[in-house]
Amino acid sequence: MEKLIRIDVGAEGGPKVTWEAIGKYVGFGGRALTSAIVYDEVPADCHPLGPENKLVIAPGLMSGSAASTSGRLSVGCKSPLTGGIKEANAGGQAAQYLGQLNIAAIVLEGERTGSDLYKVTISKDGVKIEVDNNLKLLPNYDLCDKMKDIHGNGVCVISIGPAGERKMANSTIAVTDQEFRPTRHAKRGGVGAVMGSKGIKCIVIDPTGTTLRRPADPEKFKTANENFVKGLQHHEITGQRLPLYGTNMLTNVLNEAGGYPAFNFRQGQFDGCSDIDGAALIQLENDRGGIGSSSLGCHQGCDIKCSGTYYDKDGNYLTKQPEYETIWAHGGNCGISDLDSIARLDFLNDNYGFDSIEMGTSIGVVMDAGIIEFGDAAAAIRLVEEAGKATPMGRILGSGTAATARCFGLERAPVVKGQAMSGYDPRVVRSAGITYATSPQGADHTGSYAVAPSFFEISGDVESLSLDGQVEESRNLQIVAAILDSTGFCLFVAFAILDEQETFDAMVEIINAMYDLSMTGGDVVELGKNVLRMERKFNEKAGFTKAHDRLPKYFSREPLPPHNAVFDVSNEELDRVHAY
């Protein structure tokens, strides 16, 4: 991919489009490219919603090709939620289509003048920008229905919901999936607010007239890709458990281990897990039936297919198959054990454009404050609807978990760098806690997929409750995550590439064959390290210090039942994580 598209929303006479050669960013893709542009071009001390910030949308290096499971999209900026650098990752069709159009990144920059809202259309014929104020405050599903009527379903839509337009710190950027539904979101860090600050409601990507990108060495590419697919299909997690149960396979695993955060991180187990776990979800979906009810890819070319479709009791589409994080955040974290209610919450988050993790933990804080009761699903649904309508209470929730806790006078906010933790309690899943503390992205489970070695003995067996090897595990997995986010491969391929050397080697050979390179595994690891170095340097310029690489103190003070464990990783150990 050789071209960058820059859209200056503050240009005289309206937004101006500039095409650039990729230049010094050759060899960069996905997260590596978003972080490099943000590092080079965004003043670290700027306001995230000010004109100096930029939103960078970049497909991975392998996106748009026939490489298996490589259609992930990165969105980068200075985060309104954390105040540091951010990369939020999404599935859907956008990365594949941008890759086919030979576009390495879209950069939204400048300051919008006036209140007009813009629609951008990108095709092989160029970029078209139109004022379309009829789109104002449309939820994502309604917006996509409009785009489908205009463009058909052969395009992809990147959009923001009302949350992004209102520049809420918990706001996402939606990407349409293969069924043309806005179910795939760059969720974390408030990236939707930055898109909203630029006045861009949606970007329509039309791949008509394009084909899959051709590798430099087709035969070598084909062989490596076949070996990579065999590795994914052979592995128990990527070939069996994820296709069968989806990401919600983790509910029982974490609950049995005592690391499933329930009732705003007050307990490590939830009695209602059996009603919302992977087996219960798949049984319900299959009983209700419907096209794609289980085992569905979130983008074309996915060979894991850990997603599905959730239909209500009357057989009507309700939402995508809710993922583990959503089921945890709105489920056990809030004391809710009804899948239909959780699915409704998932739909509302996608429609309004909220991160379900951040929203679920915010509601958990509200429950902890006694505003509504734990387990009250109807009240939780009402609160998300309030957030979508921007009532005073909804504005609080839309500002994120840290802000919600401050408003209600609570210390117990499970956040790092202003961003909410996900469904792995750091007192039991120690390496996740180390990553929450030290990731440049804030408390983000995708910063390193700690569940792999701790619970599935992937790339070794690290005892989750032990301190031994935890720093090294977090460090290595943060590097792996940066690599995958940059190449466009799904994070879940980590299960196979960390466990099977031949699968990792096949992935490296796919990249080599695509670009006529001769990289070693060590070269690929260095790419991941360089991404993390850039991100940490940006945060240092933004004022972050070692003191920000810490968990809230109550995690080291409050024992978590049933193990009564605390987070007792020392500050000295935390400071070792990024000592490469």
Q: Say if CB 100 and CB 213 are below 8 A apart.
A: yes
Read off the pLDDT of residues 352-400 as tens digits, 9 standing for 90 and up: 999 999 999 999 999 999 999 999 999 999 999 999 999 999 999 999 9
pLDDT at 291 over 70: no
Polymer length in residues for the chain: 580
- Asked if residue 216 is part of any domain, the answer here is no
- Asked if residue 561 is part of any domain, the answer here is no
- Asked if residue 574 is part of any domain, the answer here is no
Residue written as tokens 């850039």? 534
- Residue of 291 and 85 predicted with greater confidence: 85
- Asked if residue 562 is part of any domain, the answer here is no
**Residue 450: per-residue pLDDT:** 72
How far is residue 142 CA from its own chain's centroid?
23
- Strands, E assignment, 353-507: 415-416, 419-420
Res. 454 pLDDT band, cuts 50 70 90: low
- Asked if residue 489 is part of any domain, the answer here is no
- Asked if residue 545 is part of any domain, the answer here is no
What's the total number of domains in the chain? 1
Cis (ω within 30 of 0) for the bond into 562? yes
Identify the CATH number of the domain in which residue 105 sits.
Answer: 3.60.9.10
Please name the residues in contact with 351: beta carbons below 8 A apart, sequence gap of 6 or more: 139, 140, 141, 161, 182, 388
Res. 439 pLDDT band, cuts 50 70 90: very high
For the chain, the average pLDDT equals: 95
Q: Which domain holds residue 182?
A: 3-205
In whole angstroms, give the CA distance from residue 215 to residue 539.
36
**CA dist 506 → 228, 302, 371 (Å):** 5, 16, 53
In whole angstroms, give the CA distance from residue 237 to residue 239.
6
Model-level pTM? Answer: 0.96
Mean pLDDT computed over 408-413:
97
- Asked if residue 98 is part of any domain, the answer here is yes
- Asked if residue 190 is part of any domain, the answer here is yes
